[in-house]
Amino acid sequence: MILSEIHLPLLSLKDALLFTATCSLIVHAIYKRYEIEPSSYFKSLLLLGFPPALSSVFVHQSLASKWLSVLVASSSFYGILLTSIIAYRLSPFHPLYNYPGPLIAKVTKFWMMYITTSGRLSEYVRSLHDQYGLYVRIGPNEISVTDLAVMQDIFGPAGVGMPKGPIWDARRNPDIAPSLVSLRDLHEHARQRKPWNRAFSTSAVKDYEVVVARRALQLADCLEKASAASQRGVDLSKWFGHFAFDFMGDMAFGGGFELMRDGDKDGIWALLEARVKNLAFLIHIPWATRLLLKFPSITGSVSKFRNFTVERARIRKEKGSAVKDLYYHLTNEDGAQLQPPTVESILSNGELAVVAGSDTTANTLSGVFYYLLTHPRELVRLREEVDHVFPRGGDDAVDAGKLLAMPVLNAVINETLRLQPALPTYTERAPAKGSGGHWIGQRFVPEGTAVVAPIYSIHRDPANFSPLTDEFRPERWFEKNTGADGKWNTSATAFMPFSVGTANCTGKNLAMGEMRAVVAVLVQRFEIAYAEGYDVSTYEKDLQDRFIMQVGELRVSLKAR
């Protein structure tokens, strides 16, 4: 039976509109508790569809046209609902009222989504902290914090810190179990992290060093051939991507990728880049993720990439181990886990392994050589150190023990990570569901509030790194230059390129070893300069914060030394 056939009380147009307004306010009151958490689509359809439909019946009692009645009722309902939402988010009754920030960001997350699509998110958030201070409201229910004194309260273990925030709902595959990086329960995260810790333990990283060396030398050989065959030089960014992907395949799946040798013939790297871009804006609207993933024109690359990683994980699981790679530990082939992993968790972690093991490292390597080529004195200083530790005509620069002890090399990488962190902005946390809220320092953060600690902003805060905060100065990392009598203020606490706390990057030591080997080998092997005709300014223009920092072309000329 349709609404028009039900016996309803007769209302004047004024009373009908009053009924519509009341429905709007009731719906807002219901939604107010669930602004952060993704809602059921059915409940949303019911709450946003039924009241204006019923209101249109009452309005139709006064207006002859059905379509006009629907228009009046709907516009009144949604207009009042929107006005009520905006008024509440800007009112003193909102728990984040006292936090400063741009007006539009307080009203809607669509503003930060727009900023994200521009690729300038990290720079924008930094400008907000420059303007407003250590605490900035960047969303209706979200604050950004650069106060080092409360980092333990944000990133600490269960009982001290907070679990991951709602953006991670947007970055997980909704059709299978969440990967390690998307787990929002601190206790479950700690349990599932154990095999990852074993996979990246000191002894495990030692086993990977032979593979790192082989792949780094292969990269140098491929670059030499490519440079000889090209009049325009080579794009280091592309080659670093291929190198990182090949090594990731060795480390995670026991092999299977040869992008350096064969090129990206299957479009895998291109698919990864598209996936990063298309997932970036979803972090601001996690409630829409499941729906938008159904539209290939919007997020098709995300689904294709996930299917690829799931298939690679499935093949690796069925094949078993030839070497002690990451999946040797994740599939419990070492027998260390009392509770065997589920098939779903094994498959879901394939995406994490591919992205974390390739994209971040490749983009940081591009940054290293951009900064070295832009600061020739630093390149000369690094080359002198490499030649001293690995005399020319002797061994290749791949001895991990020697690389670890090279102060200039490590300072160059650290300074690049400071200026160009792989995860620039959204290290988001939130009070646990059902907790009521969480204290960060002397401030109480109510449940339903997300907290972001933007690494890019923290790294470029003069209070943490000075002088010349925005300049590439590796010497700020030399021990003799820091401390009470040193020239440089360099805060070890503020340096967090791999995040901090119990959910930090498990593979950071391997990533550092990987980068040391590549940088040292290329500096040892080649004279490197920007390619003729390459516009150096385009590198920083093309840097984009897409949740993960993305880089553009870095075209160089290489000449064997």
Each residue of 57-77: pLDDT tens digit? 888 888 888 899 889 989 999
Q: For residue 71, what pLDDT is reported? A: 93
For residue 407, how far is the Cα from the chain centroid? 29
pLDDT in tens, 162-171: 999 999 888 8
So what's the pLDDT on residue 276?
85
The pLDDT value given to residue 499: 92
Lowest mean pLDDT among 181-190, 329-338, 550-559: 329-338
* Percent of the chain at pLDDT exceeding 70: 96
CB atoms within 10 A of CB 37: 14
Q: What is the pLDDT of residue 2?
A: 46
Do residues 516 and 404 touch, judged by C-beta distance below 8 A? yes
Cut 0.85: pTM above it = yes
Render pLDDT for 248-280 as a digit per residue (tens, 0 to 9): 999 989 888 999 999 998 888 888 888 888 888
Three-class SS of residue 86? helix
SS3 string of 336-373? CCCCCCCHHHHHHHHHHHHHHHHHHHHHHHHHHHHHHH
Q: Is 222 annotated as a binding residue?
A: no
Which stretch of DSSP H or E encloses residue 289? helix 289-292
Every domain range in the chain assigned CATH 1.10.630.10: 180-417+463-560
Contacting residues for 40 by C-beta, under 8 A, at least 6 apart: none
Nearest in space to 433 (alpha carbons), one of 241, 162, 51, 221? 162
- Min mean pLDDT across 27-36, 71-80, 304-313 is at 27-36
Range list of H helices, 64-173: 66-90, 103-107, 110-118, 121-132, 151-155, 167-170
Query: Which percentage of the chain shows pLDDT scores above 90?
Result: 59
Does pLDDT of 37 surpass 50? no
289-298, 302-311, 362-371: segment of lowest average pLDDT: 289-298
pLDDT at 372 over 60: yes
CATH architecture assignment, domain 180-417+463-560: Orthogonal Bundle (1.10)
Q: Which two tokens stand for residue 116?
A: 């994200």
Amino acid at 280: A
Mean pLDDT of 33-46: 63
